[in-house]
Amino acid sequence: MAFDWAGTISGIEGLEPTRELWFHPCNKALYTRKLPFKPGMSLLDIGCGPGAFTRRVYEWFDGNINITGADLDEFFIDYCRETAQKHLLDIRYEVTDAVGLMFPENSFDMTVSYTVADHVDTVPFFSEQFRVLRPGGTIAVMYVDGFRASPGNMIDYIPQIEETAPLMKTIYTHMSAQPKMQDGIQYRKHRKPEPEYLRLLAECGFTDLRFDCIKLHHSPDCTADEKTARLIIDAWFSNDIDMARSTLRKPVPVPIRDAAVRLAALLEQCKQARVDLWEKGVKLWDSVETDTIILQGRK
Ligand SMILES: C[S@@+](CC[C@H](N)C(=O)[O-])C[C@H]1O[C@@H](n2cnc3c(N)ncnc32)[C@H](O)[C@@H]1O
């Protein structure tokens, strides 16, 4: 059976709003200060998913970086190719395994991965990047260590939000009891503490090891730009809506299915109510906070 991350773990709807927010143009300097981007360089994004990072880096550098996105999920790669074609972005995308990359050795100046290291066998993952990097090239391993969607005063203004909590608990309790390894997917099986990742980077040959963190905090009430406010609201709800919808794609008992149907509908209503309140200028001070760890090493 095909490697189906989008169908079994999280799809485009679940990944894109948060990534569009985290790699938003207003956060560009945070990434460009911490990662050694250079015009003309070649960059490989491993486990690129629907490709938000590849497209954003392309825009940040006006297409002056040769970007390749790689993922084992064909559905994501098809989506990336179509999106790049639609927006006339010259980005290459390939279906390939992170632990058996199709690229020859010494091909790239930088390899990046965003929220992938948790799910891929660490030593082969790092070793493959060492092989495809040019001497002096950089590996950047990025992953989210904290995501908090704080409701602020939402409950006072959007009463349906209270009903979502027990439904989410019912579904998460059921889903967390199910096996996570299926069809080659190793969900969160390889997450390690930072010192252990750093030790393994050294073991795989990397030097000049660095540890960084990017902390992001966004509230729709802190922006006058409607597109950005909608993106923050989307990011607040998207993981849970995606979780409810992906539950419906699985063979689950009827009470779980009913809970997922109700939850998806309620969350959509809450999201619309939040947008309406933003448009009226009502401040709720809800926010999304993300801590992204960045580990780097040099070949
Ligand atoms: C949490 S998603 C992150 C996607 C993307 N980096 C982003 O932040 O939107 C993890 C990604 O890793 C990919 N992946 C997992 N195991 C992989 C493997 N062995 N080889 C290539 N890609 C893999 C999945 O298909 C998925 O797209």
Domain boundaries, the chain: 5-298
SS3 268: helix
Q: What is the pLDDT of residue 280?
A: 97
The proportion of the chain whose per-residue pLDDT surpasses 70, expressed as a percent, equals 98
SS3 222: helix
Which tens digit of pLDDT belongs to each residue from 42-87? 999 999 999 999 999 999 999 999 999 999 999 999 999 999 999 9
Domain 5-298 has CATH 3.30.1330.90: no
Ligand 1 centre distance from Cα of residue 153 (Å)? 35
Ligand 1 centre distance from Cα of residue 49 (Å)? 5
Mutate to test the pocket of ligand 1, among 27, 67, 71, 80 (most ligand atoms within 8 A of CB): 71
Enter the pTM of the model.
Answer: 0.94
The tokens for 20 are 């569009």
Ligand 1 centre distance from Cα of residue 156 (Å)? 38
Q: What are the b/e assignments for 58-83, b being 16+ CB within 10 Å?
A: bebbeeebbbbbbbbbebbbebbbeb
Give the number of the atom of ligand 1 that is nearest the alpha carbon of residue 18.
9
User: Chain centroid to CA 175: how far?
Assistant: 20
Ligand 1 centre distance from Cα of residue 119 (Å)? 8
Ligand 1 centre distance from Cα of residue 72 (Å)? 7
Residue 97 backbone dihedrals phi, psi, to 5 degrees: -85, 135
Give the number of the atom of ligand 1 that is nearest the alpha carbon of residue 15.
9
Which tens digit of pLDDT belongs to each residue from 102-133? 999 999 999 999 999 999 999 999 999 999 99
| Residue that has been written with the tokens 């790049």 in this structure | 84
Q: Is the pLDDT of residue 181 over 60?
A: no
Going by CA atoms, what residue is nearest to atom 14 of ligand 1? Answer: 47
Mutate to test the pocket of ligand 1, among 3, 4, 5, 143 (most ligand atoms within 8 A of CB): 5
Which uninterrupted H or E stretch holds 63?
none
Residue ranges lining ligand 1, Cβ < 6 Å: 5, 15, 19, 47-50, 52, 71-73, 76, 97-99, 114-116, 119-120
Ligand 1 centre distance from Cα of residue 71 (Å)? 6
Going by CA atoms, what residue is nearest to atom 27 of ligand 1? Answer: 49
Which tens digit of pLDDT belongs to each residue from 195-222? 999 999 999 999 999 999 999 999 999 9
Q: What is the pLDDT of residue 230?
A: 96
Q: What is the CA radius of gyration of the chain?
A: 20
pLDDT band, residue 183 (cuts 50/70/90): low
Going by CA atoms, what residue is nearest to atom 12 of ligand 1? Answer: 47
Those residues whose C-beta lies under 8 Å from the C-beta of residue 234, and which sit 6 or more positions away, are 17, 20, 21, 271
Q: Is the pLDDT of residue 182 over 70?
A: no
